């Protein structure tokens, strides 16, 4: 009797991001090499249940999608599968729904189900796995907030978009001597704001992980003015808390797991303008960060993730999620990736480097961080050189940082 064709399912779930199609293509190509036929479920997990909707994926319909943003399978962060309702709140999926999804996988004779998604979608994948579905996970999100992986694909593309926006804002801010506020996405993690802020030459970066005050933001603006810089670029993460600790949120859409963040950029622009009597404008970058072609970094990462997810299925490593632990692509049990949000460490070298350049985080800078101590211990000759110069102490911190950077570069 002829052996039944080996089959593998794939779905993309949650908010889309650049690189989803690259994962699909990577998975299909490598699955075909191992003799699997692939099917893709439409609109995330919804395609698994009535009305069951899927498409056979092959060389023909996945050819040319490497560079395309979005997902050819469609996606949703609403609907019947909602397993995450807040930062730490997990909701149990309906047992009948899971039974229906399991029956679909059995009827289609799936050797494995590759679930591509962020924390909420991977929580669903984990519950399905615990229910007996041979699921494996692939981490996707522009927010880069999943633990156990150094990067999620989509993040680099979002940072490139936010950096491009800052580059553009830079020239118009300088021409008009204005304060420009750029609000970026990222939910409760400040990764996009931090990386774009550094890459795009931001002057102030406000992120959820560092408490800030309007006084310090205004102080930075005035400090720049005193040095002849009549404009300031402020990057604010949508999930940064206001000084009182409040999050700025919109309406929670019906049937949607988590609250919708956004609006803090306008508040920052208005308050700074009110306090300093300066012109300020706000740009909310929004979903532009999720669109467009993936960067080369994301294409490579997503392609590797797709291929590795197939290997996980092939070796029956169900319940695991592909991860990037430089330089390796590896895997971890899904709960390790979704149990804790990956946030910016305020003492990380990225933050310390930003501070060293004079970028303000709107706080009163902590001076006794481990980085500072390592920094002093590792390169004393740079400090010595400056300390020998009498005029150094008379200059402000911003100039000192600029000069130190110039010395290191030369
Ligand atoms: O998780 C990705 C993300 O783009 C967040 O950065 C943002 O808060 C959210 O999704 C927006 O979701 P929606 O597309 O449902 O408005």
The pLDDT of residue 88: 66
Residue 136: closest CA among 122, 118, 156, 150: 122
With the most atoms of ligand 1 within 8 angstroms of its CB, the residue from 122, 187, 256 to mutate is: 187
CATH for 7-153+294-338 is: 3.40.50.450
Distance in Å, CA 12 to ligand 1 centroid: 15
> Hey, whose CA ends up nearest to atom 2 of ligand 1?
15
- pLDDT tens, residue by residue, 218-257: 999 999 999 999 999 999 999 999 999 999 997 655 545 5
Length of the chain equals 410
pLDDT (0 to 100) of residue 332: 97
CA distance 335 to 391: 56
Residue 376: per-residue pLDDT: 42
Report the nearest-CA residue for atom 13 of ligand 1: 15
Alpha helices in 144-251 (DSSP H): 155-176, 191-199, 214-226
**Residue nearest atom 12 of ligand 1, based on CA coordinates:** 15
Q: Which residues contact 395 (CB under 8 A, 6 or more apart)?
A: 403
Convert the pLDDT of each residue in 153-168 to its tens digit.
999 999 999 999 999 9
Residue 89: other Cβ atoms inside 10 A: 10
- The preferred substitution site among 19, 154, 185 for testing ligand 1, maximizing ligand atoms within 8 Å of CB, is 185
- Which residue's alpha carbon is nearest to atom 10 within ligand 1? 15
Separation between Cα atoms, residue 83 and residue 94, nearest integer Å: 10
Q: Vertex 274, ends 271 and 279: CA angle to 5°?
A: 95
Q: How far is the CA of 183 from the centre of ligand 1 (A)?
A: 13
158 Cα: distance to centroid of ligand 1 (angstroms): 12
Give phi and psi for 10, each to the nearest 5.
-140, 145
* CB contact at 8 A, 143 and 189: yes
Q: Exposed, middle or buried, 37 (CB in 10 Å: 0-12/13-18/19+)?
A: middle
d(CA 77, ligand 1 centre) in Å? 9
Predicted confidence at residue 98, as pLDDT, reads 97
- Active-site annotation, residues: 143
**Euclidean distance between CA atoms 294 and 288, whole angstroms:** 12
Q: Taking CB atoms and a 6 Å cutoff, what residues make up the pocket around ligand 1?
A: 15, 77, 118, 141-143, 185-187, 238, 260-261, 290
Q: How far is the CA of 184 from the centre of ligand 1 (A)?
A: 10
Residue nearest to atom 8 of ligand 1 (CA): 187
**Same CATH fold, 157-291 and 7-153+294-338?**
yes
Ligand 1 atom nearest residue 145's Cα: 1
Fold type of domain 157-291: Rossmann fold (3.40.50)
Name residue 117's beta-bridge partners.
139
Q: Select from 43, 69, 76, 143 the residue to mutate for testing ligand 1; criterion: most ligand atoms less than 8 Å from CB.
A: 143
How far, in Å, is the centroid of ligand 1 from the Cα of 294? Answer: 17
What is the chain's mean pLDDT, rounded? 89
Atom of ligand 1 nearest to the CA of 290: 4
**Lowest-pLDDT choice from 11-20, 119-128, 216-225, 373-382:** 373-382
Q: How far is the CA of 130 from the centre of ligand 1 (A)?
A: 27
Residues 72-96 have a mean pLDDT of 85
Checking DSSP bridges between strand 328-333 and strand 280-284, what pairing results, if any? unpaired
| Range of weakest confidence among 82-91, 113-122, 306-315 | 82-91
State percent of the chain over pLDDT 70. Answer: 85
- The best mutation among 15, 71, 158 to test binding of ligand 1, ranked by most ligand atoms within 8 Å of the C-beta, falls on 15
Phi, psi of 323 (to 5 degrees): -145, 160
β-bridge mates for residue 329, sequence order: 324
Give me ligand 1 centre to Cα 15, in Å.
6
65: pLDDT confidence band, cut at 50, 70 and 90? Answer: very high
CB environment 15-36: b (16+ within 10 A), e (fewer)? bbbbbbbbbbbbbbbbbbeeeb
Residue 188's alpha-carbon distances to 144, 158, 237, 262, in angstroms, are 10, 16, 8, 11
In the beta sheet, which residues pair with residue 116?
Answer: 12, 138
- pLDDT, tens digit, 9 for 90 and up, residues 342-396: 999 999 999 999 999 999 999 997 544 444 444 443 333 333 333 333 332 333 3
Atom of ligand 1 nearest to the CA of 77: 15
What's the CA gap between 279 and 231, in Å, rounded? 10
- Listed by start position, the domains of the chain span 7-153+294-338, 157-291
Q: How far apart are CA 202 and CA 370, in angstroms?
A: 24
């Amino acid at each position: 009797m002829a052996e039944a064709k080996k089959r593998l399912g794939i779905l993309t779930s949650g908010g889309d991001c650049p690189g989803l199609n690259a994962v699909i293509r990577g998975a299909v190509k490598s699955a075909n090499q191992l003799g699997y036929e692939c099917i893709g479920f439409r609109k995330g997990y919804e395609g698994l249940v009535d009305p069951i909707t899927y498409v056979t994926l092959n060389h023909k319909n996945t050819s040319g999608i490497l560079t395309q943003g979005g997902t050819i399978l469609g996606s949703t962060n609403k609907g019947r599968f909602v397993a995450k309702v807040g930062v730490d709140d997990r909701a149990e999926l309906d047992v009948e729904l899971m039974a229906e999804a399991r029956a679909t996988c059995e009827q289609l004779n799936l050797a494995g189900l590759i679930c591509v998604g962020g924390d909420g979608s991977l929580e669903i994948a984990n519950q399905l796995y615990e229910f007996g579905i041979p699921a494996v996970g692939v981490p996707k999100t522009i927010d880069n907030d999943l633990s156990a992986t150094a990067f999620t694909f989509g993040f680099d593309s979002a940072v490139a978009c936010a950096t491009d926006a800052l580059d553009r804002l830079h020239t118009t801010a300088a021409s008009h001597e204005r304060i420009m506020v750029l609000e970026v996405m990222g939910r409760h993690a400040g990764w996009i704001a931090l990386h774009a802020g550094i890459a795009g030459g931001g002057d102030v970066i406000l992120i959820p992980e560092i408490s800030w005050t309007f006084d310090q933001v205004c102080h930075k603006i005035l400090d720049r003015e005193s040095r002849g810089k009549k404009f300031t670029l402020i990057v604010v993460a949508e999930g940064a808390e206001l000084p009182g600790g409040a999050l700025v949120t919109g309406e929670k859409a019906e049937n949607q797991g988590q609250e919708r963040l956004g609006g803090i950029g306008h508040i920052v622009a208005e308050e700074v303008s009110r306090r300093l009597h300066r012109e300020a404008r706000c740009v909310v970058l929004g979903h532009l960060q999720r669109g467009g072609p993936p960067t080369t970094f994301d294409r490579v990462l997503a392609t590797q993730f797709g291929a590795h997810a197939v290997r996980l299925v092939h070796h029956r490593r169900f319940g695991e999620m592909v991860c990037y632990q430089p330089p390796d692509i590896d895997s971890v049990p899904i709960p390790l990736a979704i149990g804790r949000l990956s946030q910016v460490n305020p003492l990380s070298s990225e933050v310390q480097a930003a501070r060293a350049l004079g970028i303000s985080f709107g706080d009163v800078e902590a001076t006794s961080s481990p980085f500072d101590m390592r920094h002093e211990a590792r390169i004393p000759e740079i400090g010595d050189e400056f300390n020998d110069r009498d005029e150094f102490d008379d200059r402000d911190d911003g100039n000192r940082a600029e000069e130190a950077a110039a010395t290191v570069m030369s």
